[in-house]
Amino acid sequence: MSGIALPLRVAGEGRRRRRWPVLVLCAIAWLGLMLGVALLADVIAPYAYTALDLRNRLASPGATVLHPLGTDELGRDVLSRLIFSIRMSLLIAFGATVIGALIGTSLGVLAAHFRGFVEQVVLALVDFSASLPFLILALAVLAFFGNSLTLFVCLLGLHAWERYARIARGLVISAGAQGYAAAVRQLGASPWRVYGRHVLPNIASTLIVSMTLAFPEIILLESGLSFLGLGVQPPETSLGSMVGYGREYLTRAPWILLSPAAVIVLTTFSVSVLGDWLRDRLDPTLT
């Protein structure tokens, strides 16, 4: 672990100018577009996502200039719904990724700091997470605690926590065993200082790469749960719930479902490409 920082900087500067893979550039461009859409949703959406146009129900894309991506069974503009769905899905995925990273990293650091009993508890929780497919766990919690957006985000935040916990614990233990963390501790630094100023900045690149790898999984989970009707609830809309509701019109109006599906695929694909590329660059030890 202590080998990360140095080769990273040296290798990074040498190669960076030589080759930015086209695929990575495309991925970044797409993500930039998505981010822009999410931020400017109110400005660029032609209609409100709940606005009905009963005269133009199930209009196909291009059938009317009013609705470039067509309309759904209630005559709602697919493009506008798509724009707001992108905002919702990205918001949830960002929130959940950050929550997962925070919880996981904190528990991992606690386990590494206290060792002993605390560590065993954290490891037992990690085992517990690994013993249930997350979808099953999420299904149980969601349906029984009802469904609010906050709960949904927090629940998805639990998705990859054990991964961060494992990584953080390993890195903190190896940092503390010898090297800079031990050196700073014997200078008289408080644990806050040791972790906040030294250990966390040093392991941050690894954690950021893991976040990039977990992000698409969370988008997929969110859309999967929303598809099952257990995620984002109407009138709110997300990419997954658009696909879920569009499913009933699969034969008559496939465009309702195809555009959000395409956005999901392109977005997760872009983040994965970016994450893989970052990982190869920054920290090849992660899988």
Residues that bind other proteins (CB under 8 A): 2, 5-6, 9-10, 124-125, 127-128, 130-133, 135-136, 139-146, 178-180, 182-184, 186-191, 193, 198, 201-202, 216, 220, 223-224, 227-230, 240, 243-244, 247, 250-251, 254, 257, 261, 264-265, 268-269, 272-273, 276, 287
CB of 272 to other proteins, least distance (A): 5
CB of 232 to other proteins, least distance (A): 15
Nearer to other proteins by Cβ, of 44 and 183: the residue is: 183
Per-residue H/E/C for the chain: CCCCHHHHHHHHHHHHCCCCCHHHHHHHHHHHHHHHHHHCHHHHCCCCCCCCCHHHCCCCCCCCCCCCCCECCCCCEHHHHHHHHHHHHHHHHHHHHHHHHHHHHHHHHHHHHHCHHHHHHHHHHHHHHHHCCHHHHHHHHHHHCCCCHHHHHHHHHCCCHHHHHHHHHHHHHHHHHCCHHHHHHHCCCCHHHHHHHHHHHHHHHHHHHHHHHHHHHHHHHHHHHHHCCCCCCCCCCCHHHHHHHHHHHCCCCCHHHHHHHHHHHHHHHHHHHHHHHHHHHHCCCCC
Tokens representing residue 174 in the block: 């190896």
Nearest to 156 by CA among 210, 215, 109: 215
CB of 185 to other proteins, least distance (A): 8
Nearer to other proteins by Cβ, of 42 and 127: the residue is: 127
CB of 230 to other proteins, least distance (A): 7
CB of 4 to other proteins, least distance (A): 9
Nearer to other proteins by Cβ, of 23 and 91: the residue is: 23
Nearer to other proteins by Cβ, of 79 and 242: the residue is: 242
Nearer to other proteins by Cβ, of 94 and 269: the residue is: 269
CB of 53 to other proteins, least distance (A): 25
Nearest to 85 by CA among 219, 252, 193: 219
Nearer to other proteins by Cβ, of 45 and 89: the residue is: 89
| Cα 81 from chain centroid (whole Å) | 21
CB of 254 to other proteins, least distance (A): 6
Q: What three-state secondary structure class fits 286?
A: coil
Nearer to other proteins by Cβ, of 61 and 179: the residue is: 179
CB of 198 to other proteins, least distance (A): 5
| Cα 138 from chain centroid (whole Å) | 16
Nearer to other proteins by Cβ, of 45 and 263: the residue is: 263
